[in-house]
Amino acid sequence: MFNVIVVHFDELILKGANRAFFERKLISNLREALGKDVFSEAAKFVIYLKQADDISVIFEKLKLIPGISNFSGAIECDANIDAISAAALSIVQHYQPKTFKIETSRSCKKFPMNSMETNCEVGARILQQMPNLKVDVHRPDLMVCIEIQSKKAFVLGKKEQGIGGLPVGTAGKIVCLLSGGIDSPVAAFSMMKRGAKIIFVHCHNQTINQSGVEQKIKDLVSCLSRVQGKSILYIVAFDELQKEVIAKIAADSRMIVYRRLMFKIAEMIAKKQGALAIVTGDSLGQVASQTLENLEVIYEATDMLKFSPLIGTNKREIIDIARKIGTYEISIRPHEDCCSFMISKHPETRAHLEDIKSQEKNLQCSALLRKAIKNSRAQVCARAEVATEGIAPSS
């Protein structure tokens, strides 16, 4: 029944002179995600459907693309009251609601009826055909929106909520320190939602990690590529750095030093990639490395801008988002993180910068860091085709 999908964008409207840039970015992101052409029309985008298209597959994809406020299956028709009424009737017949409401907006005021008159006329014609239906202007089961332009009109079916935010690529690049856990993929997603393109860095100890870890990391990145498009993943060999740490750093401080080294690695890759910040999945107090004292010492490792968007978020809330974006099922696959390797059972919870720095003086890290970056494998992960609930509450 639908011949198009109509997409409304989110905060782009606020961006004044930059609006064209944000729109172009969202259009190119949509084209990449859907493999379809996307047209800009009076404050919306229009995607033409072909017979063979499965609209639910396209909806799944749209639910994860930052910058979209809402979208609907719709009928594009001539801008005359007969065509508009027929389209509205078939949409109401499709959803079979008990109550409905028509809401018209006109970007072309030459249409012979004003919005209110159009609502009444289309509503009356539908009621003639479906006499058991009722109008409810406050809480209708189905709202049918009509958008009238100069030569054509769009009659919209049920609105699906997008995730909102800004199109990926409008806010520059950020490096995400990606562990195999639940939190860091969600942290990456939060920054994508605000327009950042994420470059992923995973520190990997080949000698302890089963080969499954690497596949798990790739699967996480492919899953997140549904949000931001093709993604770059660096897998950095951490073994030699860890050996050095184990040889020279007290067991209860090793976690702190591992994480400081990861920040240094992230910074080096960020500089290479033109990224301006680092994002992690830290959540205050969640594990020993995330006390305020330890975070202060860990975050001192680089001067680069650092974000921890989950810092005030509870595990339960993080899990809810992870489920919605599809990373949860991948994150819970068992794996051993290299961070947990050879650390004390009771790691330091109140690290002192002076103490950590004086222990670090014994490390021969500069050459090892350079070598780790040089030997790291950068790969491109394409988007995975995984069905998810979608992040937005359904309308």
DSSP H helical segments within 179-291, as ranges? Answer: 183-193, 212-228, 239-248, 254-273
DSSP string, 309-358: TTTT--HHHHHHHHHHHT-HHHHTS----GGGTT--SS--SS--HHHHHH
Distance CA 290, CA 282 (A): 7
For residues 133 and 123, the answer to whether their CB atoms sit within 8 Å is no
For residues 291 and 350, the answer to whether their CB atoms sit within 8 Å is yes
Distance CA 199, CA 154 (A): 39
Q: Which of 123, 162, 181, 229 binds ligand ATP (CB under 6 A)?
A: 181
The residue number with the shortest CB distance to ligand ATP is: 181
Three-class secondary structure of residue 40 per DSSP: strand
Give the pair of three-digit tokens for residue 99: 């109550």
Q: Name which of 7 and 174 has its Cβ closer to Mg ion.
A: 174
Residues 281-310 that bind Mg ion (CB under 5 A): 281
Phi, psi of 309 (to 5 degrees): -65, -15
Q: Which does 289 bind (CB under 5 to 8 A by kind): ligand ATP, Mg ion, none?
A: ligand ATP
Q: Which of 5, 26, 142, 178 binds ligand ATP (CB under 6 A)?
A: 178
Q: Which stretch binds Mg ion (CB under 5 A): 158-166, 178-186, 190-198, 225-233?
A: 178-186
Cβ 362 to ligand ATP, closest distance in Å? 23
Q: Name which of 177 and 270 has its Cβ closer to ligand ATP.
A: 177
Beta strands 152-156; 305-307: pairing state: unpaired
Q: Is 126 in the site for ligand ATP (CB under 6 A)?
A: no
Q: Which does 280 bind (CB under 5 to 8 A by kind): ligand ATP, Mg ion, none?
A: ligand ATP
Distance CA 223, CA 387 (A): 10
Cβ 238 to ligand ATP, closest distance in Å? 7
Binding mask 180-199 for Mg ion (x = CB under 5 A): ---x----------------
Residues 273-292 that bind ligand ATP (CB under 6 A): 280-282, 287, 289-290
Residues 265-284 that bind Mg ion (CB under 5 A): 281
Cβ 204 to ligand ATP, closest distance in Å? 7
Three-class secondary structure of residue 17 per DSSP: helix
Q: Is 184 in the site for ligand ATP (CB under 6 A)?
A: yes
Q: Which does 347 bind (CB under 5 to 8 A by kind): Mg ion, ligand ATP, none?
A: none
Q: Name which of 38 and 241 has its Cβ closer to ligand ATP.
A: 241
The DSSP secondary-structure symbol of 293 reads H
Q: Name which of 89 and 322 has its Cβ closer to Mg ion.
A: 322
Q: Is 245 in the site for ligand ATP (CB under 6 A)?
A: no
Q: Name which of 155 and 343 has its Cβ closer to ligand ATP.
A: 343
DSSP H helical segments within 103-238, as ranges? Answer: 115-129, 183-193, 212-228
Q: Which stretch binds Mg ion (CB under 5 A): 32-40, 137-145, 176-184, 358-366?
A: 176-184
Nearest Cα neighbor of 297 from 251, 214, 362, 355 is 355
Q: Which of 338, 343, 368, 372 binds ligand ATP (CB under 6 A)?
A: 338
Phi, psi of 276 (to 5 degrees): -105, 0
Q: Name which of 7 and 310 has its Cβ closer to ligand ATP.
A: 310
Q: Which stretch binds ligand ATP (CB under 6 A): 24-32, 48-56, 67-75, 201-209?
A: 201-209
Q: Cα dist. 366→302, 320, 369 in Å? A: 14, 40, 5
Q: Which does 324 bind (CB under 5 to 8 A by kind): Mg ion, ligand ATP, none?
A: none
Three-class secondary structure of residue 139 per DSSP: coil
Phi, psi of 182 (to 5 degrees): -85, -35
Binding-site ranges for ligand ATP (CB under 6 A): 177-179, 181-184, 201-203, 259, 262, 280-282, 287, 289-290, 337-339
Binding-site ranges for Mg ion (CB under 5 A): 183, 281
